[in-house]
Structure 1
Amino acid sequence: MNQVLRCSTVLLLLATGPLAGQQPPSIPAFSVLESLDADNGWEPLEFPNIDRLTRYELVSEDGRQVVEAHTDDSASGMIYRVSLEPGDSLVLRWSWKVANVLETGNARKKSGDDYPARIYVAFEFEPDKAGWFERAKRKTVSALFGEELPGKALNYIWANRLPVGTQVPNPFTEDTVMIAVNSGSARVGEWVTVERDIVEDYRSAFGDDPPRLVGVAIMSDTDNTGGQARAWYGDITLERP
């Protein structure tokens, strides 16, 4: 697919959400959901020109209810929309498990921009900090899709080969930074709990304080590599320290 369009569409679908208070919103927990649909807070995240979609379903895995993702030369996700000022610190916590990594996956290359599991965190667009070309591009995309695009994004990945702790720009857009929080096959088949201060990570990635948080998404995709992967996502929370 057109990867620039894909990255823009990912951010587009994270763009809007209800206004939250000072405390982080309670993200609907997979462990207690009766179904995966918009009525329960999670919505499908699909992309233009992608016919093969990743399958997401609630399953019982290791004694608890989680979301299982199965991707086969496919791409799509599930999103939860928020509207929240991050403040000085905001901790994102989740657990996940993968059945495999992608041997041909490579976070530094467009052809390898696939991961068995990842978490998108998207932020509000700041027009006063963008150049003329960026503003014009966003106006064009907004005209096509009928919505305002958000701005930068953090992309927490179970990397295929990138060393843990490494941050690299997405190969299609510098507005998204990939952060390897797990990598390789050393912990394949194990549940891993991840905790990240998204304010600290945003400052490290972009050299500035983050604007308003507008969305969180899960995504497993293999449309660039043509591979297969399976992953499980546990509950996701946002917390003030």
Structure 2
Amino acid sequence: MLVSVFAMTLVACTHAPPSLPVKAADSPWEEVRFPGKRVTTYDPITQGRFVGWQASAQGSASMLRRRLHVPQGVEPTLRFAWKTNALIPDAVVGVVDKDDAVTSVVVAFDGDHQSLSLKNQMLFDLAEMVTGERPPYASLIYVWGHDQATIESVVNSPRTDRIRKIVLEAGPAHLGQWREYERNVIADFKRAFGEEPGPIIALGIMTDADNTGGRAQAWYANVDLTTSR
């Protein structure tokens, strides 16, 4: 259901923005549940220097998010680590009804909603009516893809062009290992969307297996978005 896709990136921010430098760790994590979806559980974990959550999904989809505000023109650095021991059978990033990911890190952006296509404006209105929150103008999602996915490829959501994904891992080569990343999200946004980004309004993590009805387990750690003056 398309509304559920929008709900999965419901990270709009209505609070007053913190002053720079922005550090995502300064704002609390909160659970986001999606209408009609079973809930993925997120349990706190510490494994040496890796501090974060264990995510467990069973035909489910829900998110943890942090609200924040990084003004347009600032280039923050996204750092995080993730790990999984198994991929989701039959999951294929970008394919309708198979578009699950064992690991996802979401960065949401604001923008001029009036510039959206009429179709997207109508879908945003519907999502807001169902969930009580308006979807962000654009969402950039980093994922662990299936065997045939291409590392660093950009995959458009099959249901809306306002959600685009960058594949950071593909297939089983690094299962069971902590994988650490450092990304320039502004450069990634420009490559994925071909436009200038607006302010960043939230950061999230999500393990979902609702489309395939499968099971997934993953670990996230040291997830942060920082800027400097």
* Aligned sequence identity (%): 26
Shift of 1:198: 0.7
User: Which residue, 158, 161, 171 being the options, matches 2:158?
Assistant: 171
- Aligned residue pairs total 227
2:227 matches 1:240: yes
Alignment check: 8 A CA contact 1:92 1:195 kept: yes
C-alpha change, 1:228 and 1:135, in structure 2 (3 Å) is: closer
RMSD over aligned CA atoms reads 2.0
Structure 2: 5+ residue stretches without partners = none
Shift of 1:63: 6.2
Q: Helix, strand or coil: the match of 1:202?
A: helix
Shift of 1:13: 4.0
- The aligned amino acid for 2:172 is S
Provide the rounded CA distance (Å) in 1 between the counterparts of 2:23 and 2:172: 33
Alignment check: 8 A CA contact 2:78 2:182 kept: yes
2:218 matches 1:231: yes
User: Which residue, 46, 50, 59 being the options, matches 2:45?
Assistant: 59
Instruction: After superposition, give the CA deviation of every residue in 1:12-43 in whole Å (9 maximum; x if it has no partner).
Output: 34443431223222425xxxxxxxxxxx7111
Q: Helix, strand or coil: the match of 2:9?
A: helix
TM-score (ref. length: structure 1): 0.86
Alignment check: 8 A CA contact 2:8 2:62 kept: no
Alignment check: 8 A CA contact 2:11 2:201 kept: no
2:110 matches 1:124: yes
C-alpha change, 1:23 and 1:63, in structure 2 (3 Å) is: closer
2:63 maps to which residue? 77
Q: Helix, strand or coil: the match of 2:25?
A: coil
Shift of 1:81: 0.8
Provide the rounded CA distance (Å) in 2 between the counterparts of 1:131 and 1:63: 45
Provide the rounded CA distance (Å) in 2 between the counterparts of 1:172 and 1:86: 27
2:173 maps to which residue? 186
Matches within 5 A, 1:14-53: 14-27=12-25, 41-50=28-37, 52-53=38-39
Alignment check: 8 A CA contact 2:20 2:227 kept: no
1:207 maps to which residue? 194
Provide the rounded CA distance (Å) in 1 between the counterparts of 2:161 and 2:92: 16
2:149 matches 1:151: no
Alignment check: 8 A CA contact 2:84 2:217 kept: yes
Instruction: After superposition, give the CA deviation of every residue in 1:188-210 in whole Å (9 maximum; x if it has no partner).
Output: 00011011111001111111111
